Chains A and B, each alone.
Chain A
Amino acid sequence: MITAHVVNAQNKHLYENEFDEFLRRRHDFFVHQKGWRPPSPDGRERDQFDTDAATYLLGIEDDRVVTSARLIPTTEPHMVSEVFPHMCEITGVPRRPDWAEWTRTFVVPDRRSAGLRGTLTELCCAVMEYALDEGLSAVGGIQETYFMPHHGALKWRAEPMGMAREENGEWYIVAYIDVNEKALQSVRKILGIDHSIIVRRGPQMSFLERAQKAIEAPAR
C-alpha cells in the first residue's frame, strides 16, 4: 500500500529527492512510454503547468515514487483551459476554486496490475481523500477514454464537459469526478482499508485559498 505525500510550494524543500525521482519517472512514462512529449536533455519531464499553484500527491512505497497525481486549481491556467478548451462544448471550461484539474498520473511498470486492488486504485483513493479534506467538490480534466471504466468500477460519478474526441491518434474526454464522502467510502471498501493514506509534512497550503488567490489577483 502506498502512502501519498502532499507536496507543493510550501513544503517542496522537504522532498527534493522524491520530487526529482517523480520528474524522472514522468519522463520515463510521458516521453518514452506514451511518446506524448519530446525527450528532455536532463531526463526530467516538466511542463508549463508545474508552477507554484500545483499540488502533487507522490505515492511512495518501499522508498520509491511509484505513482503520482498533480492537482491544479481550475481558476489558474491549466491543461483544459489552455490546450483543450474546445472539448468542453456542453458546459464551457469550468473555472471554480473548488474544482481541481487532475493530471500527470502514472504507475511505474512493475506496480501495474489488471485487477482493481492495485496501485492505481490506491492513488485514486489518495486523490479522493485529499480532495475531500481540502473541501473540493470535483477533480478531473482531460482523460483517455480507454481508462474511464476504472471510475465506474470505483463507483465514481464522472460528469462529461463535452464529447469524446480523437486528438493525435488517441481518444480523450474532459470529465470531472464528484468529490464526496460516498466516493471515498467506495474506493476504501475496494481496497479494504478504513484509514488515511495521506501524509502531510512541514508547512501546508490550503488548496481553496490558493485557488481563490487566482481570482482575486488584479487583472493583467
Chain B
Amino acid sequence: MIDSDVFDFIERCRKHTATASLLGDLLETVRNLGFEHLILSGVPLGGQQLAPMVELNGWPTGWFERYIEAEHAAVDGVCIYSAKTLKPFLWADVPAKWSNTDGSRRVAGEAAEFGICSGFAVPMLSVHHWQSVLSFASSAKSCALSPRQQVQLVTMAVYAGMSIQALSSDDSGEDGLLTDREKEVLLWAAAGKTSSETSQILGVAERTVKWHSNKAREAFGVSTTTQAVVEAVRRRLIHP
C-alpha cells in the first residue's frame, strides 16, 4: 500500500454520507494491509452493554452476535485494554494481566473460529463514551505490520473516526438523551433516595419512577441506576 492510497481514502471519507458506505470503503482499503474485519465502537466500562456503542460493525456474521450474547467484552483482553490506553497497539502487545486470563484466552479461541486471529487497535476520543476504539482484525496468525503500515493504518483510522463522529452526532448535543423527568429521577437517586422515596417526593407511582430510571439506563446502555447516574454526571446532563 502506498501513502497516496491513504490520502485518497481521507478524501473519500468526507464524501460518505452514511456509515455503511464508510465501512465498506474502509474494509476495502485496509484489506491491502491484510485486515479483513474491523469494528469501531465506544469502549464499554464495567457492565456497560457493547451493542448500543457500536458505530461501524465489520465483524464476520455470527461473531458479533456471539460476542454480545456471551458478554465477551467483560473478559476480552483487547477490549479491556482499549479502555486503558490512549495509544494504538497490536493485540499481541496487550499486557498479560488482561490477555492471559482464562476468559480472554477463551474469547481468542472462539474468535479464531471466525477467522479473527490477530489485530491492531486505535483508541480515540469519543464525545459519547469513555473513549472509542477502531480495531482491525486479520486471519493471519500474527500481524506483520511495518512501521510505515502502522502509520498508514493510524492515519486512516483517525479520519474514519472523525467522519463517524460527524455522521453520528447530528443531534444537537446530548440534551435530548434524557427527558426532564428522567433527569429528575436520577438526581434523586444521586441524593440517595430509593424509588419508593422518589415516588413520594414527585407524587407519582413507584412503577413510574422505575420506568423512568429504566429509560435512563437504556439511553446509556448500562444495567444499573448507579451507572446511569455516573454517566449523566460525567456528561454533565445532571448536576447533583
Contact = CB atoms under 8 A, between A and B. Distances in A.
Interface of A: 89-90, 113-118, 145-153, 155, 157-158, 160, 163-166, 169-171, 173, 189-192
A117 B234 CA distance: 12
* Residue in A152, A166, A171, A190 whose Cβ sees the most chain B Cβ within 10 Å: A152
Contacts of B163: 152
Contact of A113 (B88, B152, B162, B236): B236
Contact of B88 (A148, A171, A192): A171
Interface of B: 3, 6-7, 10, 14, 86-88, 123-130, 132, 150-152, 154-155, 158-159, 161-166, 169, 172-175, 234-237
The 9 closest A-B pairs by CB, nearest first: A152-B162, A152-B165, A115-B235, A153-B165, A116-B127, A152-B166, A164-B155, A149-B161, A149-B165
A171 B174 contact: no
A152 B123 CA distance: 15
A189 B159 CA distance: 23
Given A113-B234, A118-B236, A149-B125, A165 B151 contact: yes
A173 B158 contact: yes
Nearest to B167: A152
A114 B129 contact: yes
A152 B164 contact: yes
Contact of B127 (A114, A158, A163, A191): A114
A151 B162 contact: yes
A190 B86 CA distance: 26
Contact of A173 (B14, B123, B155, B175): B155
A145 B158 contact: yes
A4 B172 CA distance: 23
B124 A114 contact: no
Given A149-B165, A153-B166, A171-B88, A113 B14 contact: no
A164 B125 CA distance: 16
B155 A146 contact: no
A150 B87 CA distance: 17
B187 to A, nearest CB: 17
Nearest to B151: A163
B208 to A, nearest CB: 27
B173 A192 contact: yes
Contact of B154 (A90, A117, A145, A157): A145
Given A115-B235, A164-B155, A150 B125 contact: yes
A116 B173 contact: yes
Contacts of A158: 162
Nearest to A175: B158
A117 B173 contact: yes
20 contacts: A114-B128, A114-B130, A115-B128, A115-B174, A115-B234, A116-B173, A117-B174, A117-B236, A145-B154, A146-B125, A148-B124, A148-B125, A148-B158, A148-B161, A151-B162, A163-B151, A163-B152, A166-B150, A173-B155, A173-B158
Contacts of B165: 149-150, 152-153
A75 B130 CA distance: 38
B173 A169 contact: no
Contacts of B235: 113-115
Nearest to B165: A152
Given A115-B234, A149-B164, A153-B165, 17 more contacts: A113-B235, A114-B130, A115-B128, A146-B86, A149-B161, A149-B165, A150-B127, A152-B163, A152-B164, A152-B166, A158-B162, A160-B7, A164-B151, A166-B150, A170-B87, A190-B172, A192-B175
